């Protein structure tokens, strides 16, 4: 359950909730904040309780860390505080989600590759980890976990680009059966054996059997069909997320992806750290969706006023978008979404810390 006019922003170990003006006049008010033990990696709301679950770690790219946890936070009016005991973890959780029943939290770990499951009590408190079979395969560099409405788990494994020292690691998407907290063996989708395929995040169409995938390393948007068994073996549609696919600058990557609640539009972030002559795309690519075929058509590249848009979110109701930059000085961008799905920048808020995650506040 999420609030239609409140957002949570993770900057370092601090999570701040803002109250947004629904008249869209560019007003945002910080109303609650909590500081945790390590950098916030990701968040996900409970489907029916005013609780936000967050993953934290002091580990990151090029940085060793030894403090990792899952924490439940409860929103009571304008107050945000811990809800139950934190769950200490052995490794960095890079993505989390909650199943539609609200009874289990799933956490993806990139190194070593793993997928964990924790029980959630009726009061929303985190419980014990559910033991899993030892022979499950989670691919290379898991980066996102989601659960379909019919209860299947989808794990996006990004793989890695080739370097001078090692060959490319293939990417893949796995669908795992899920029952009472137990994961089954995966059905794997990996076009081309996963080579030249570096998926980062995916999202579901709200009413049609389509899955939309942001392919990070190739700066592409893929569309897959979904049936009772798994994903289509090959994408139904492939398109670039860039305005000029032939001008891919160093460090250019696709990022997060969200389908609008009405199913008519979807959004993908283009992100790049570079500025000056090597400046890449830092915008939101907006696509209309064909209601019959699911095919995406590019209709806009929306400016955000920020660099390296690692994370963005659509607020419930689909009237607003919030995008957060990682490159310092970090910028939080508030954007209006029109009836036609197009995006217009309303306000930017500068901060001192890189923002790893932003999402709708529990309400």
pLDDT in tens, 244-280: 998 888 889 999 999 999 999 999 999 998 777 778 8
Task: Say what the pLDDT of residue 77 is.
Answer: 87
Q: One digit per residue, pLDDT tens: the chain, 363 residues? A: 676 788 999 999 999 998 886 444 555 677 889 999 999 999 999 999 999 999 999 987 767 888 999 999 999 988 999 999 999 999 999 999 999 999 999 999 999 999 999 999 999 999 999 999 999 999 999 999 999 999 999 999 999 999 999 999 999 999 999 999 999 999 999 999 999 999 999 999 999 999 999 999 999 999 999 999 999 999 999 999 999 998 888 889 999 999 999 999 999 999 998 777 778 899 999 999 999 999 999 999 999 998 899 999 999 989 999 999 888 778 899 999 999 999 999 988 887 778 999 999 987
Is the full-model pTM beyond 0.85? Answer: yes
54 DSSP β-pair partners: 43, 71
SS (H, E, C) the chain: CEEEEEEEEEECCEEEEEEECCCCCCCEEEEEEEECCCEEEEEEECCCCCEEEEEEECCECCECCCCEEEEEEEEECCEEEECCCCEECCCCEEEEEECCCCCEEEEEEECCEEEEEEEECCCCCEEEECCCCCCCCCCCCEEEEEECCCCCEEEEECCECCCCCCCCECCEEEEECEECCEECCCEEECHHHHCCCCEEEEEECCCCCEEEEEECCCCEEEEEEECCCCECCCCCEEEECCCCCCCCCCCCEEEEEEECCCCCEEEEEEECCCCHHHCCCCEEEEEEECCCCCCEEEEEEEECCCCCEEEEEECCCCCEEEEEECCCCCEEEEEEECCCCCEEEEEEEECCCCEEEEEEEEC
User: In this structure, what are the phi and psi dihedrals at residue 225, rounded to the nearest 5 degrees?
Assistant: -85, 150
pLDDT digits (tens, 9 = 90+) for 295-348: 999 999 999 998 899 999 999 989 999 999 888 778 899 999 999 999 999 988
Q: Rounded to whole angstroms, what are the CA distances from 303 to 218, 219, 244, 315?
A: 21, 17, 15, 18
Task: Say what the pLDDT of residue 160 is.
Answer: 95
Neighbours of 47 (CB within 10 A): 14
Mean pLDDT of the chain: 93
């Amino acid at each position: 359950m999420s609030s239609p006019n409140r957002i949570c922003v993770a900057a370092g170990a601090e999570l701040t909730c803002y109250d947004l003006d629904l008249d869209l006049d560019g007003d945002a008010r910080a109303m609650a904040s909590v500081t945790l033990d390590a950098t916030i990696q990701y968040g996900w709301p409970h489907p029916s309780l005013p609780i936000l679950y967050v993953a934290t770690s002091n580990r990151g790219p090029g940085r060793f860390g030894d403090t990792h946890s899952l924490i439940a936070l409860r929103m009571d009016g304008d107050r945000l505080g811990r809800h139950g005991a934190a769950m200490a973890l052995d490794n960095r959780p890079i993505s989390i989600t909650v199943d539609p029943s609200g009874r289990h939290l799933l956490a993806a770990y990139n190194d070593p590759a793993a997928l964990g499951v924790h029980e959630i009590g009726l009061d929303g408190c985190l419980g014990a980890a559910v033991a899993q079979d030892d022979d499950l395969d989670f691919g290379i560099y898991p980066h996102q976990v989601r659960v379909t409405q019919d209860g299947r788990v989808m794990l996006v494994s990004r793989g890695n680009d080739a370097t001078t020292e090692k060959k490319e690691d293939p990417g893949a998407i796995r669908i795992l059966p899920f029952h009472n907290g137990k994961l089954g063996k995966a059905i794997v989708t990996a076009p081309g054996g996963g080579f030249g395929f570096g998926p980062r995040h995916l999202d579901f169409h709200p009413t049609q059997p389509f899955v939309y995938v942001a392919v990070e390393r190739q700066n592409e948007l893929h569309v897959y069909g979904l049936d009772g068994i798994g994903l289509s073996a090959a994408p139904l549609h492939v398109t670039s997320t860039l305005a000029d696919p032939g001008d891919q600058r160093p460090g250019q990557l696709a990022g997060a992806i969200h389908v609008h609640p009405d199913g008519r539009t979807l959004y993908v972030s283009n992100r790049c750290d570079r500025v000056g002559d090597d400046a890449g795309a830092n915008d939101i690519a907006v696509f209309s969706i064909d209601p019959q075929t699911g095919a995406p058509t590019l209709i806009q590249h929306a400016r955000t006023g920020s660099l390296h848009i690692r994370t963005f979110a659509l607020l419930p109701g689909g009237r607003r978008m919030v995008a957060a930059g990682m490159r310092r000085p970090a910028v939080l961008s508030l954007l209006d979404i029109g009836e036609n799905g197009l995006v217009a920048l309303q306000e930017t808020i500068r901060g001192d810390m890189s923002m790893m995650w932003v999402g709708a506040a529990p309400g």
